[in-house]
């Protein structure tokens, strides 16, 4: 297993590369060119600059998160072929510098959705919070008006250049069903997976977060059954998954340990984090420690270990602790603590395995 750490780039992150290098067991950074508008080709020169920056600290750039997909592709519009062609050119540029995994998602309009960025926990730290009723009670078109007049309603993933198009997008998606979205995803995969095979790049789709419809928009990468269906759309070893315990774990019906064991050979990238679920559907992100949340973090790590997982893993969102000023969910301190917790579980499994082999022999 390769442990990696999300990094948002020089001048765009409070976490410099030399800090990341000092976290035990971290071999590389997970990165993206966040300033390139969705649908445009990532310039090779810019990609090469990222590699040079990481090389100085002996860190790899094997995993990209994310190369976002243009809405025209998700909507199945006639213009999608142009954006798929641009996507393929970006894939080719990434392959030139040795990128091995591309994480992406197929969520309409929004990426992960939360209703509060700095909800206070009992210990005094803050974390990302999702209030289900608040989302259910907001009419999408009213939301657009509210955002226009009050930036406080802005949620993560709602970039300013996208907010101005929200009204149009909501109207367009009114005629898009889940089956339509499945068809548009298959069309995209049929174009890019053969290219990924040639480039030796693994594609890893991220589950929808949360794993159910928000604002009436279709969402399809949500559960075990749909993960099976996804992998069969284009059945190739490079067509795989990003396992995200936080995204899938927001729905109590998802058995995360079973999902890891079932799909381990097609999980190319893993996000491991914890969250606490409430009976009313709300959830808040917590420390990685198992007893702090609702997820079986030990069971998840054991499933990866017993499946001989050799892909990439990173600690996902953490709390904001020790008065750290940081990007919501992406502070240095709690994610570094999370890594050590995950390594602690992993190392104990390794040592336990050695003891069992000794007894057996």
pLDDT in tens, 148-161: 665 555 555 555 55
Sheet holding 116-120, edge to edge: 116-120, 126-130, 283-285, 275-277
Q: pTM (2 decimals)?
A: 0.93
Q: Are 3 and 339 in contact (CB under 8 A)?
A: yes
Model pLDDT, residue 361 = 46
pLDDT at 360 over 60: no
| Helix and strand numbers, DSSP H then E, in the chain | 14, 12
What's the distance, Cα to Cα, between the start and end of the chain in Å? 26
Element (H, E) at 60: strand 60-65
- Work out the average pLDDT over 125-146: 82
For the stretch 121-144, what's the b/e string if a residue is b when 16 or more beta carbons lie within 10 angstroms of its beta carbon? beeebbbbbbbbeebeeeebeebb
- Catalytic positions, please? 206, 244, 271, 316-317, 330
Mean pLDDT over 347-357 rounds to: 82
**How does the average pLDDT of the chain come out, rounded?**
92
Q: How confident is the model at residue 272 (pLDDT cuts 50, 70, 90)?
A: very high
Indicate the helix (H) or strand (E) that contains 128. Answer: strand 126-130
Residue 13 has pLDDT above 80, yes or no: no
The pLDDT-based confidence of 359 (bands split at 50, 70, 90) is very low
| Domains in the chain, CATH or no CATH each | 2-360 (3.20.20.150)
pLDDT at residue 152 in the model: 54
Mean pLDDT, rounded, for 167-175: 87
d(CA 107, CA 48): 29
Q: What integer is the mean pLDDT of 342-348?
A: 97
Candidate from 91-100, 105-114, 124-133, 347-356 with smallest mean pLDDT:
347-356
pLDDT score recorded for residue 356: 63
According to the model, what pLDDT value does residue 113 have?
87
Cβ partners under 8 Å of residue 75, min gap 6: 172, 173, 176, 184
pLDDT at 116: 87
């Amino acid at each position: 297993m390769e442990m990696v750490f999300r990094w948002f780039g020089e001048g765009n992150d409070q976490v410099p590369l030399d800090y990341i290098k000092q976290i035990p067991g971290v071999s590389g950074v997970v990165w993206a060119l966040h300033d390139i508008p969705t649908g445009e080709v990532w310039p090779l020169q810019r990609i090469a600059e990222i590699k040079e920056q990481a090389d100085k600290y002996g860190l790899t750039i094997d995993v990209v998160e994310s190369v976002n997909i243009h809405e025209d592709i998700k909507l199945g519009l006639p213009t999608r072929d142009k954006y798929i062609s641009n996507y393929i050119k970006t894939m080719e540029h990434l392959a030139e510098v040795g990128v091995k995994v591309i994480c992406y998602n197929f969520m309409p309009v929004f990426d992960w959705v939360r209703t509060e960025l700095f909800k206070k926990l009992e210990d005094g730290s803050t974390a990302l919070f999702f209030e289900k009723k608040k989302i259910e009670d907001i009419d999408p078109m009213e939301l657009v008006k509210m955002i226009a007049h009050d930036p406080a309603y802005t949620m993560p993933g709602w970039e300013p250049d996208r907010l101005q198009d929200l009204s149009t997008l909501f109207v367009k998606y009114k005629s898009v069903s889940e089956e339509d979205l499945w068809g548009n995803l298959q069309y995209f995969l049929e174009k890019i997976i053969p290219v990924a095979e040639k480039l030796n790049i693994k594609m890893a789709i991220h589950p929808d977060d949360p794993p159910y419809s928000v604002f009436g928009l279709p969402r399809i990468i949500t559960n075990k059954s749909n993960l099976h269906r996804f992998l069969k759309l284009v059945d190739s070893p490079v067509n795989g998954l990003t396992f995200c315990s936080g995204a899938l774990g927001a729905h109590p019906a998802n058995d995360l340990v079973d999902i890891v064991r079932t799909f381990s050979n097609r999980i190319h990238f893993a996000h491991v984090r914890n969250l606490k679920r409430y009976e009313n559907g709300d959830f808040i992100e917590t420390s990685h420690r198992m007893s702090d949340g609702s997820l079986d973090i030990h069971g998840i790590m054991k499933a990866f270990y017993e499946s001989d997982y050799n892909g990439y893993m990173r600690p996902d969102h953490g709390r904001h602790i020790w008065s750290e000023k940081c990007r919501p969910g992406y502070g240095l301190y709690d994610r570094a603590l999370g890594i050590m917790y995950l390594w602690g579980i992993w190392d104990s499994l390794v040592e336990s395995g050695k003891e069992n082999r000794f007894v057996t022999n």
